[in-house]
Amino acid sequence: MIRPSDRFIGSRVATLAALLVMSLSAIHAAAQQQVPAAPAPEVSAPAPSAPPAFPKPDPANFTATSPTKDDVNAFLQTSWGYDDSRVWQVQAILKTQVEGYSKVVVLVGDKTGKQKASALGFFVLPDGKHIIAGDEILAFGKDPYKDARAMLQQKADGPYKGAAAKDLELVEFADFQCPHCKEAQANMDKIAVDFPKARIVFQNYPLVRIHSSAALAAGYGVCVAKMGGSSAYLQYASAVYEGQDGLSTPDGATLTLNSATSKAGQDPVKVAACAASPETKTNVQNSIKLAEDLNINQTPVLMVNGRMVPLGGIPYETIKQIIEFQAKLDGITL
């Protein structure tokens, strides 16, 4: 059992899910991320200039046989290795009262010492492939994104630009009525320039409970792509985002979507009829289901070979680092 006197653990051990939201505090909607991102510990004052001095792990706190310390370190390296400034130490891997469930405690800081070290904890399930962090179940292991990557390669069927091959597949899940999706398009344009070997797929994820015109806009997009191809879709998407304010009312949505369709070189009457068809509605629902199956509950999100990266509020350089790091992990030469 971990001693109460351990100063970095004490009575409050944060979960991966909570720390992830804290570390991405600029994200505008509550979200569950598949990848544990860097915790955002309290900033100390005055700021030190040396890495944190983690207390030496007590062997008595390693009572579980699985996972091993190497397993945990491999998982964290895959998750956090894109950030050279991050340091961590596995502090405990404990048996629990439930057979097969292990509790892991990790201390996290940064090499500069500008941030005060934090503790995080999660439970590893008996299958060794998943963890419970807060109220979420996340993938675990050296390659935690493998299953999501395979699912996307099989089911992400939206319009795309870039490479035909799926070696580096970047799938954006977005909602045309979401303001943060509109803001994210500037970064998506940068990604296309910086990663010419990537296949960038655009997948509909209308948040129908909060955006009344999002599903209709998605349906129009499906039909524009069907009739005019990916290039027409890209023109349509750009025009919808530009006129996004018009989606707030039914009449405004009709005018905005018809205008965007015309700018994409398509017939608004034909596209409107197509969007109303059961086939198109099923297409949109299948895309929503794909997002839900991947545990995505916010927009915009970019899946980088199965690795979830929320686009809202993250600096572009961080997004670029993550893509480069994941490509390296997957043996892709950029």
- Does residue 151 surpass a pLDDT of 50? yes
pLDDT value at residue 24: 31
Query: Residue 66 gets which letter from DSSP?
Result: S
For residue 88, CA distances in Å to 107, 119, 247, 315 come to 5, 9, 46, 23
Q: How many percent of the chain have pLDDT more than 90?
A: 79
Q: What share of the chain is helix, strand, coil (3-state, %, to 5)?
A: 40, 20, 40
The neighbour count for residue 8, using CB atoms within 10 Å, is 19
Residue 47's pLDDT is 53
Confidence of residue 48 (pLDDT cuts 50, 70, 90): low
Task: Tell whether the model's pLDDT for residue 87 goes beyond 50.
Answer: yes
Please give the average per-residue pLDDT across 212-229, as a whole number: 98
Q: What pTM value is reported for the model?
A: 0.85
d(CA 303, CA 296): 10
Give the CA diameter of the chain: 71
Residues of the chain with CATH 3.40.30.10: 147-329
For residue 305, pLDDT over 70 is answered with yes
The per-residue pLDDT for range 4-27, each reduced to its tens digit, is 333 333 323 444 543 443 333 223
Q: Is 226 exposed, middle or buried (0-12, 13-18, 19+ CB in 10 A)?
A: middle
Per-residue pLDDT at 3 exceeds 90: no
- Per CATH, the number for 147-329 is 3.40.30.10
Residue 6: the pLDDT is: 36
Quick one: pLDDT at residue 51?
Answer: 84
Give the tens place of pLDDT for each residue, 97-149.
Answer: 999 999 999 999 999 887 788 999 999 999 999 999 988 899 999 999 999 99
Determine the residue type at 160.
Answer: Y
Q: Could you tell me the pLDDT band of residue 313, with boundaries at 50, 70 and 90?
A: confident
